[in-house]
Amino acid sequence: MKTTRILGRMLMLCALLTAASAGHAEKEKTVYGWVENAQLVPWGVTLKAKLDTGALTSSMHATDIEKFEKDDETWVRFKTRVEDQRTEEMVSKQYERPLYRQLEVSGAGGTDERPVVLLEVCMNNTIYEEQFSLRDRGDMIYPMLLGRRTIKHLGLIDVSETFLNNPECDHDSKVVENEASEDDDD
């Protein structure tokens, strides 16, 4: 009788461990380096992106930023010129996007207001619609910075590594849409 009880408990423990490890496997996250290649969708240009846990909102290199009215909404027109990591050529594109919100950034140099737009970026094999503040990052090493809002969708960061994943998205790729939240006000 005692052996049967012990055997029953062992079987129950095995079942619990199996269920727990199955649940853990579902929650396993992709590991990214602190710098990764990202692809702007649908443009297809691949650029270097710094994953920055110190920033909440992602940032994209943009010049000639101007607001304008379209269909009774405020839109933003901007240009970006980046090095395509696949071809090593400098490429340019002009975008027009609805203004998602206005971001006020305070730092040692004072306060700066930046427009925020939604852009789609391919990381690994998933397309993420994310908030990007627009700023001239021409003097920066990385034209794209991915902040915590984006990183929380990606997975884990190994700060000792770079370029652990390549962007490989197509029309069948999973799309994670931006969700408005209370923390939209930085």
Confidence of residue 12 (pLDDT cuts 50, 70, 90): very low
Q: Higher model confidence: residue 168 or residue 181?
A: 168
Number of domains, the chain: 1
**Quick check: is 98 in a domain?**
yes
pLDDT of residue 5: 53
Does residue 23 surpass a pLDDT of 60?
A: no
- CATH classification of the domain holding 39: 2.40.70.10
Position 111 confidence tier, pLDDT thresholds 50, 70, 90: confident
Structural domain harbouring 173: 30-179
Distance CA 30, CA 107 (A): 32
Residue type present at position 114: R
In angstroms, the CA 118 to CA 183 distance is 16
Q: Determine, yes or no, domain membership for 92.
A: yes
Q: What is the mean pLDDT of residues 163-171?
A: 95
Structure confidence by residue, pLDDT tens digits, 135-164? 999 999 999 999 999 999 999 999 999 999
- Rounded to two decimals, the pTM is 0.80
pLDDT per position as a tens digit, 44-99? 999 999 999 999 999 999 999 999 999 999 999 999 999 999 999 999 999 999 99
| Burial class of residue 64 (count of CB atoms within 10 Å of its CB; 0-12, 13-18, 19+) | exposed
106 occurs within a structural domain: yes
Tell whether 137 is covered by a domain: yes
Residue 184 lies in a domain: no
Indicate whether 22 belongs to any domain. Answer: no
Residue 84: inside a domain, yes or no? Answer: yes
Residue 104, in any domain of the structure: yes
**Which of 11-25, 52-66, 108-122, 156-170 has the weakest average pLDDT?**
11-25
